[in-house]
Each structure stands twice: as C-alpha cells, then as structure tokens.
Amino acid sequence: MRLIKKLVSMARRRSPWLFHLNTGGCNGCDIEFSACLAPRYDVEQAGILLVGSPRHADILCVTGPVTRGTRAALETIYAQMPEPKVVVALGNCPATCDVFAGSPAIEGPLDRILPVDVYVPGCPPRPHDLIKGVAQAVAILADQQPRDRRIIEGVNQ
Amino acid sequence: MNIFSVLLKNLRMGPATLRFPEEVPYPKGFHGPVKIHTEKCICCGMCAYVCVSGAVRVAEHKDNCEWVYSPGLCTFCGKCVSVCPVEALHMAAKSAPSYFNTKALDEVHLVPYSPCPECGRPTPPVREVLRAKAFKGVAPNVLVKSLICQRCRQKDSQRALVSIQVKGEPPPSRSDK
Amino acid sequence: MSWEKVFFALLIFPGLLYAVPTAWLMLWLERKFRARMQGRIGPPFYQPFFDFVKLMAKRRVLRPSFDSIFMMGLPLVSVSAGLLALALLPISSDSRGFAGDLVLLVAFLEVPSLCSVLAGFASRSIFGQVGATREAILSITYNLPFLTAIVALAYSAQSLRLVDIAASPAGGVRALAVLTICLCLPVKLRINPFSVSNAEQEIYSGPATEFSGPQLAMWELAHGLEWVALTGLVVCLGLTFRTGTWIGDFAIYTSLSLVLVILLTILATGTARLKIQQAARFYWRWGMGLSLVALILGVFPDIERFIR
Ligand code: SF4
Ligand code: SF4
Ligand code: SF4
C-alpha cells in the first residue's frame, strides 16, 4: 500500500496536465504562458502537458480577473475537473483584479469563487516564474496536504 | 523552405531548451516590484497619484506618513519610479516569488516626519536633493524657508506682507540656522 | 494452437507483457521525436508510464448509470481488442495461426475506432459527437483501400492465414498492398495530417473529451496498443524473410516497428491537419488506386509476369 502511494505521488509529480483558462484578462499572461510551451522553456521536459479538456486536467491555470461573462464557465470547468486538482492563479489579475479592480463587470478576484492554491505574481509574470508556480502546485498535488493548512502556512511566510 | 528540411535542421542543431532549474538571466533594468528608500521619501504622494491601478497608496498621519504597496495590484509599469522627485523609488531586479495568500506580498513603510526647525512640530521631511532641484538659483533668504513647516512658512509670509504693505519697511531677513 | 501457446501469445509475447511497455515506448518515442524536431527537449522516457499511473489514481467523475457503463466498458474493449490483434500477429517463424485469422485480425484492428465512435456518442458532449461523426466518416474512407489491399494480399497468397501471407513470395502485389496499408496508418492512428477525428484544440480531444481518470488512461493505452499492432502488422506483412530464431525475429520486428514510428512521427510533425474532404479524396484517389492495382495484379498474376 505504501509503495503504491509513493508511486502515485511520484506520478503526480511527474505528469501534471494543465488546463488554461483566460477569464477576461488582457492576454498578456496568456502570451507568456504560451512561451512556456515553446522550445525555449518547453515544459514538456517536466511532463507538463497542455490539455484541451478540463476532464483530463490536474491543474487549472487561470489568468484574468473573473468577469461576469466568464464566471459560469469558470465554475463549470472547475467542477468538471476530477479530483485531485489544484488551481494556480497566473498573474496579478486573478489575485486582485489588478487594473480592472472596481469595474462593475468584474466578479473577481478569483478567490471569491474558487479555492486558489498558488498565486504567481507579475503582470505578466515571466515564463520562468510561471513554471516555478506550476512546480509549487505540483508539489501540492503530489503531497495532497489539506487545503486550510497550506493557506495558514502561506500567511506565515 | 521545405518544412522537412527545417525539421532536419532542428534535429541537427539540438534543442534550444533550458533544462528546468536553469534560468534566463534577468535583463538589465528589469521591472520587478517597487522598492522604497524611506530615508529619501518626502511624502509628496506623486507615486500614488500616477499609479494606474492603485498599487501605491500614501496616507498622511500626524507624525509620520504611510507608504503602502501591494505588488498584487501593480502592473510594473515604472511610472511611479519616473515621477518620484527625489528618486526614493526603484524597481527590484528580480520578480517576486509565488505566494499562497493574497495579502502575503503587501508592504507597509512608515516615513517618519522630522521636527520643524522653527516650531518643533512634526513636518514632512525635506531632503537636500529636493532643495537642490526645486530651489535652484533662489536667493538664500528664501531658500532657508524650504526647511520650515507649512504653518511657519505661512506665518513668515504674513509677517513679510504686513511689514511691506503696512509699515513700509523691507521684510525681516532670516539667517540660516 | 495449444492453450499454452494462446496464453503465451496473449499475456507475454506479443501480448500484455511485451505490448504494454512497447506501447508506452512508442508513445514516448512519438512525443520525444516530435519535440526534438521542433527544437525542444521533450518528455523523459518514463512519461507515458507515469501518465498512466497518475490517470489511474484520479478519482472518478460520476455519470448517469447507463452512460457510465459505456464509458467504462468501451476503453476496456478497445484495449482488449488491441491485445487480441497483437496476439494474432505472425511474428516468429514458429507461429502457426489458424485459417481465417486474417479476417479476425482485421476485425480486431477496427474495434478501437468503432469503440471511439461509440464512446463519442455515449459521452454526450458536443465535441465527442463531432469527433465520433468524423471518425465514422473517415473509417469508411480508409477502410475501402485498406480492405482492398488485404483482399489482394489474401488472393495472391490464396489463403486467409497470416502465416501464409507472410511466407508468400515478394512481388508487386505484396509491395503495393503493404504500401497501401502504410498509407492507411496515419489515419488509423489519428495523427497529422489525418488527425481529423480527435482534432486537438479544434474539437478539444474529440471522442475522448469527456473521459477522465482511469478511462482516459485506458484510451491512452488503447492508442499505444494500436501503434504497436498496426506497425507490427506492416512489419509482419512487409517482411519477406524470417531469421528462423526467436530472438532474431523479435529484434528485427521491434526495431522495424520503432523505425516505422519515427517515420510516422516525421510525417505528423511536418504536416498540418487536412479537412475531412481532403482526407477522403486522398484515400479514394491514391489509396484506392494503389490497392486496386494490387488487387488486379493479385487476381491476374499473368500481368505481373508479362511486365517482368
Ligand atoms: S495580470 Fe496583467 S498581463 Fe496578466 S492578464 Fe492581467 S492585466 Fe494582463
Ligand atoms: S509600477 Fe506602475 S502600477 Fe506599479 S506601483 Fe508604480 S505606477 Fe503603480
Ligand atoms: S516615494 Fe517619491 S513620489 Fe512617492 S511619496 Fe515618496 S517622494 Fe513622493
């Protein structure tokens, strides 16, 4: 049993599949995200794959503040992902709404809607920071710590 | 060019990828989070005024002023750095680490006021840089007024007005303390 | 065939124990080679294995009961069909086969695509349905030349046994028929330029869009087994000699399959997705042309002799 658990944890660490969703950002983060997939950064070397269907994904990468129009889609997509799953907020938009804060069309920030596990700061973040953020999410995925403890630890950091 | 010859060329040249822990070095003049030297700040509030997303806020209190910065709201445009009259701000050469709580990166800095040389009340500090910049070529008897607090300056002006208009004398001169 | 042999073929070589690691190896080779040609590093060799383990360890998403029977069953059927097809391949010279195993093999090779059509409709997702429709249309277009080539092979060898066909002398018929089967490989494996049915990003993942966790793992495995079986089929039918020793056959068979995987990957990387009409036109023009020539040569062997 222990061995299987270890193997599963290893597998989760080595093959995180991402689903990427723009919830109304300026597209800056999405461009940097695409750069991660391109030859220079090539996240596939770590087994990271961009998948087309939320049903296949382990990590939900959200960019953009959550607009009214995208909120329903965001919630559906999150619900469609099978457990275990983690949410990574890419860029400042999902964290605080950034330049869009205060707009009547915005329902964000993201943590009002979903439990967010990792925030990657930057507007947009560098591709390398994105990869580091995803790596942190992967560690969370592999160890499966309960969510609340992580958040408390985050405050202390 | 034929696509297959491109593929062959790629194959021959080897991958252009960085192995994961390897990093692209940060470029010169990279726009990281904004940092402040509190000993240079004069609490003018220009940075808060130009900030497009309200990442910098300056609040004045009785004996200090509060400079609050949330990197989570910042767009790293560098506007605040370029408008700061005393160059108290600069941008970090590296980006911030990822975090787990939205308030984790917020920074609060207190800029202490210095006492007014005339009345001793706490007043926003005046730095030499600012004096050199803003009061260049000003007569020394006016220059000394840049150090005192707003109230003392008003009093001074009133006194000068009274002596010229009412008494018809030249205004009282003040020596640099 | 004795029972031990059947079990050996099913479970050890070229069945489960050989085929599953080879399937993962081929999936990896395809990804790695494509990455290299695009100037990237690509995944490490254990990637498909860990993908599989991770997917197996994901929690299931509950579905209405009838759908879930289909969605659990179809990938399993697909995997078993792949294994059964592999067990029938005449790899080593001491395999005997039985009369009619060619027909069975062709049927088994068609099962994964049938399963994915059914799965696309059973998943009730619009992308799955679009993918399933495309898969169904494509299977009509490529099966015509594919089956004609098989018929030509069988006719010229005058047998429905795979061993007999593999042992039949090399000639124009065989070359043309194997070439036609090669032409059908990309579309059967759903890779570029014929990745119409599972068109990535265009209709998400086609029929597999709604599948998650263990079921998706089974799909991936079935896809890998398809790679093994189809490249194996081409190697078995195309190779005109056997070394006679078990090890030699094994080595030649495996290495040629891997070479075929690399060739297919080059094709997939260098091309873009065609429209379904273009794919159909290609198969009905070139595929049918080639296989009809093979059939005519097979039925009238005199023509070939005359040309010679
Ligand atoms: S964080 Fe900045 S770059 Fe990213 S989507 Fe928002 S505004 Fe655009
Ligand atoms: S860099 Fe731009 S967004 Fe950030 S605090 Fe300065 S002015 Fe505001
Ligand atoms: S940091 Fe510069 S611009 Fe901002 S309040 Fe201080 S002196 Fe003024």
Q: Which residue of A44, A76, A85, A144 is the best one to mutate when testing the C interface, meaning the one whose CB has the most C CBs within 10 A?
A: A44
Average pLDDT over residues C194-199: 78
Residue A154: what pLDDT? 40
pLDDT(C307) > 80: no
Which domains are assigned to chain B?
Answer: 29-112 (3.30.70.3270), 114-171 (no CATH)
pLDDT tier at A61 (50, 70, 90 boundaries)? very high
pLDDT tier at A79 (50, 70, 90 boundaries)? confident
pLDDT in tens, C238-265: 877 777 677 887 888 888 889 999 999 9
Q: Is B98 on the interface with A (CB under 8 A)?
A: yes
> CA nearest B65: which of B130, B113, B22?
B113
- In chain B, the percentage of residues whose pLDDT exceeds 90 is 5
Residue B172: what pLDDT? 63
Residue B49: what pLDDT? 92
Who among C41, C266, C271 is closest to B15 (CB)? C41
- In chain C, the percentage of residues whose pLDDT exceeds 90 is 5
Which chain B residues contact residue A120 at CB under 8 A? 98
Average pLDDT over residues C76-85: 88
- CA–centroid distance, B84 to ligand 3, in Å, is 5
Who among B95, B98, B102 is closest to A96 (CB)? B102
C83 min Cα distance to partner chain A (Å): 25
Q: Is the CB of B49 under 6 A from ligand 2?
A: no
> CA nearest A30: which of A109, A123, A104, A133?
A123
Beta-bridge partners for A61: A20, A88
Domain ranges across chain A: 2-151
CA distance A28 to A25: 8
Cis peptide before A109 (omega within 30 of 0): yes
- In chain A, the percentage of residues whose pLDDT exceeds 90 is 13
Within 10 angstroms of residue C22's Cβ, the number of other Cβ atoms is: 23
Residue contact C40–A53, C-beta within 8 A:
no
pLDDT(A149) > 50: no
Q: Which residue of A53, A76, A81 is the best one to mutate when testing the C interface, meaning the one whose CB has the most C CBs within 10 A?
A: A53
Q: Is the CB of A23 under 6 A from ligand 1?
A: no
Q: Which residue of C37, C267, C273 is the best one to mutate when testing the B interface, meaning the one whose CB has the most B CBs within 10 A?
A: C37
Residue C208: what pLDDT? 81
Task: Looking at the CA of B71, name the nearest ligand.
Answer: 2
Residue predicted with more confidence, A155 or A56: A56
Average pLDDT over residues A47-71: 89
Average pLDDT, chain C: 83
Residue C28: what pLDDT? 92
Residues C210, C216, C221, C227, Cα dihedral to 10°? 30
CA atoms within 13 A on the CB side of C187: 30
pLDDT(B26) > 80: yes
pLDDT(C156) > 60: yes
* H helix count then E strand count, chain B: 6, 7
Q: Is A150 on the interface with B (CB under 8 A)?
A: yes
Domain A2-151 bears CATH identifier 3.40.50.40: no
Residue B11: what pLDDT? 86
pLDDT in tens, B112-128: 888 887 787 888 888 88
pLDDT tier at C1 (50, 70, 90 boundaries)? low
Within 10 angstroms of residue B110's Cβ, the number of other Cβ atoms is: 12
Beta-bridge partners for B111: B65
Which chain C residues contact residue B17 at CB under 8 A? 39-41
Average pLDDT, chain B: 83
CA distance C125 to C135: 15
Residue B42: what pLDDT? 86
Residue predicted with more confidence, C112 or B22: C112
Distance between alpha carbon A82 and the CA centroid of its chain, in Å? 15
CB C153 within 8 A of CB C177: yes
Distance between alpha carbon A74 and the CA centroid of its chain, in Å? 12
ipTM, two decimals, is: 0.85
C281 min Cα distance to partner chain A (Å): 29
In the block, which residue shows the tokens 């969510």? A147
CA distance A24 to A21: 9
Pairing of strands B64-69, B89-91: unpaired
CB A122 within 8 A of CB B96: yes
pLDDT tier at A63 (50, 70, 90 boundaries)? very high
Q: Whose CA is nearest to atom 6 of ligand 2?
A: B80
Residue B156: what pLDDT? 83
pLDDT in tens, B36-82: 988 888 888 889 999 988 889 998 888 888 899 988 888 888 899 99
Residue A157: what pLDDT? 31
Average pLDDT over residues C200-216: 80
pLDDT(A113) > 80: yes
The one-character DSSP state at C140 is H
Within 10 angstroms of residue C9's Cβ, the number of other Cβ atoms is: 21
Phi, psi angle pair for C5, to nearest 5°? -65, -40
